[in-house]
Amino acid sequence: MKRIASILAATTMLVTPAMAELELEKDELTFGFIKLTDMAPLAVAYEQGFFDDEGLFVTLEAQANWKVLLDGVIDGQLDGAHMLAGQPLAATIGFGTKAHIITPFSMDLNGNAITVSNTIWEEMKPHIPHDDAGKPIHPISAKSLAPVVEKYKSEGKPFNMGMVFPVSTHNYELRYWLAAGGLEPGFYSEQNISGQIGADVLLSVTPPPQMPATMEAGTIYGYCVGEPWNQQAVFKGIGVPVVTDYELWKNNPEKVFGITAEFAEENPNTTKAVVKALIRAAIWLDENDNANRPEAVKILSQPEYVGADYDVIANSMTGTFEYEKGDKREVPDFNVFFRYNATYPFYSDAIWYLTQMRRWGQIGEAKPDSWYDEVAKSVYKPEIYLEAAKLLVEEGLANEADFPWDSDGYKAATPAEDIIDGIPYDGKKPNAYLDSLPIGLKGDQKVVGTEIQG
């Protein structure tokens, strides 16, 4: 019905100022997404009419998994998509499918967690500090998991955990948490892309909506995923989220909106119009201290979007997060869509993902700092973002003070206190950052067979 109304509005010349502003090269678009709460900017832009305001007739289509989604964008079946931040970067440098994908819009900050099964949780608890009320003290370090992993190894049992895709934030966050606790999460090489070379904990791919059932079946002992699939484990009584990514790295970047470089070149005005609508959606999601979140949860709970129960999505989306059943805590920034310049595609965010690819062997050879900068600038496009933001400000639909007009594309270095292992991150010094991490490739090291050489 919304689409029919949009067409009627257009055909009766009810043209908004925004629609008149840009001469669109293409106005019928299909965007893909995975059923996660952080696809919210797309759903909100559709349901609140922000795409309509730009003269865009958009169809949103849920995808089976991240590979299908990426392939759809590359082959043109999808005009763009809610993507893992690592996907445009990996595709552009040729890790996996080779294609030049760009992002003019970052979709959110935070939003993930690491969950373990009830059995593993019970085995971890003796190693976790508790407060006077008997509640676990957060953040929970992977050091509390290490004795459990060691026990399983001594019994000849592989310790399996799930993540959603080899270049996902979830893979890198789970690896970061494990390594910060002294556990080896494994390496990749050109000959062995399992990511399990030398691993204490064996990580494998599981699609997000299947995570709880896969853990309940005992195939994996835990996982890292976005919402609502951590809270789903709590509601089903099958697992306990032990750490959020906000606790791993305060206000870390998450998903992006990805399109091909060719699409952006052929459809520059359409690209700007899409970004305008997405910025408006992000503003709506965060404005007035998250006042619109209950309505957003209602939208997301619909089967065509995320399709989880309202209460499950609301448990994290409305400013709280439940760990053990009944242990619900205030986490107002668990999901951030616009605050803290969340939508601006920072080069330093791109470079963090590239450092993790290098750290674990997905980038097999050492690269100079200049290479990281060049790749980031070929994929992340803040100039398109700011052009769209400028139009919104001119139209009175956004506040000028809310955008980093003078940024060089790099955030200030993340301080040690904002990261779980106390190691600061400066996107302008990627090799120095890699050298500072105790576990992972550094310098000229490479993975040869099952060994680290160099």
Pairing of strands 222-226, 112-117: antiparallel
Confidence check: pLDDT of 3 > 80: no
- Average pLDDT of the chain to the nearest whole number: 95
pLDDT category, 117, cuts 50, 70, 90?
A: very high
Three-state DSSP state, 335 = strand
Counting DSSP H helices and E strands in the chain, the numbers are 20, 16
d(CA 269, CA 242): 44
Measure Cα distances from 201 to 171, 181, 211, 229, 275 in Å: 12, 12, 17, 21, 40
Given a cut of 90, whether residue 10 has pLDDT beyond it is no
Give the whole-angstrom CA distance, residue 34 versus residue 11.
Answer: 32
What does the pLDDT read at residue 18? 40
Rounded to whole angstroms, the Cα distance separating 148 from 142 reads: 10
pLDDT exceeds 60 at position 234: yes
What does the alpha-carbon distance between residue 201 and residue 222 come to, in Å, rounded to a whole number?
Answer: 11
Average confidence (pLDDT) over 352-367:
98
Q: Tell me the C-alpha to C-alpha distance, in Å, between residue 258 and each of 35, 44, 400.
A: 16, 17, 25
Which whole number is the average pLDDT over 374-390? 98
DSSP of 180-244, one letter per residue? HTT----B--SS-TTS-BT-SSEEEE--GGGHHHHHHTTS-SEEEEETTHHHHHHHHTSEEEEEE
Given a cut of 60, whether residue 217 has pLDDT beyond it is: yes
The average pLDDT across 201-220 equals 96
Paired with 223 in beta bridges are 115, 162
Predicted confidence at residue 114, as pLDDT, reads 98
How many angstroms from the chain centroid is the CA of residue 113? 11
Say what the pLDDT of residue 92 is. Answer: 98
Confidence of residue 16 (pLDDT cuts 50, 70, 90): very low
Q: Look at residues 251, 236, 248 and name the one whose alpha carbon lies nearest to residue 325.
A: 236
Confidence of residue 9 (pLDDT cuts 50, 70, 90): very low
Q: What are phi and psi of 61, to 5 degrees?
A: -130, 120
Strand 57-62 and strand 28-33: pairing?
parallel
**Cα(449)–Cα(197) distance, integer angstroms:** 8
Say which amino acid occupies 101. I
CA pair distance 259, 8, nearest whole angstrom: 28
In the predicted model, what is the mean pLDDT of residues 383-397? Answer: 98
SS3 for 66? helix
Asked whether the predicted pLDDT for residue 1 surpasses 60, the reply is no
For residue 17 the two structure tokens come to: 């100022």
pLDDT at residue number 277: 98
Strands of 248-322 (E only): list them: 256-260, 320-322
Residues 41, 283: Cα–Cα separation, whole Å: 9
Per-residue pLDDT at 19:
43
pLDDT (tens digit per residue) in 134-173: 999 999 999 999 999 999 999 999 999 999 999 999 999 9
Taking the C-alpha atoms of residue 280 and residue 66, their distance in angstroms, rounded to an integer, is 26
What the block records as the tokens of 309 is 């129960």
Please report which confidence band the pLDDT of residue 261 belongs to, taking 50, 70 and 90 as the band edges: very high
Is residue 15 pLDDT above 90, yes or no?
A: no
- Give dist(CA 356, CA 342) in Å, integer: 21
pLDDT per residue over 81-96, tens digit each?
Answer: 999 999 999 999 999 8
Q: In this model, does residue 44 exceed pLDDT 90?
A: yes
Sequential DSSP letters for 342-391: TTS--HHHHHHHHHHHHHTTSS-S---HHHHHHHHHHHB-HHHHHHHHHH
Q: What's residue 5's pLDDT?
A: 41
Tell me the pLDDT tens digit for each residue of 324-346: 999 999 999 999 999 999 999 99
How many CA atoms lie within 13 Å of 39's alpha carbon, on the beta-carbon side? 27
CA distance 115 to 275: 33
* 8's tokens: 């009627």
Q: Phi then psi for 130, rounded to 5 degrees?
A: -125, 155
User: Region 363-386: what's the mean pLDDT?
Assistant: 98
Rg over alpha carbons for the chain, rounded to the nearest Å, is 22
DSSP letter (8 states) at residue 79: S
- Strand partners of residue 161: 203
Token pair in block for residue 293:
């979140």
pLDDT band at 53 (very low <50, low <70, confident <90, very high): very high
* Structure confidence by residue, pLDDT tens digits, 397-433: 999 999 999 999 999 999 999 999 999 999 999 999 9
Ordered by where they begin, the domains of the chain are 2-109+253-402 (3.40.190.10), 112-252 (3.40.190.10)
**pLDDT in the model for residue 82:** 98
The pLDDT of residue 8 is: 40
Q: Distance of alpha carbon 380 from its chain centroid, rounded?
A: 15
**Distance between CA 102 and CA 345 in Å, rounded?**
10
Picking from 96, 268, 72, the residue whose alpha carbon sits closest to that of residue 193 is: 96
In sequence order, the β-bridge partners of residue 380 are 103
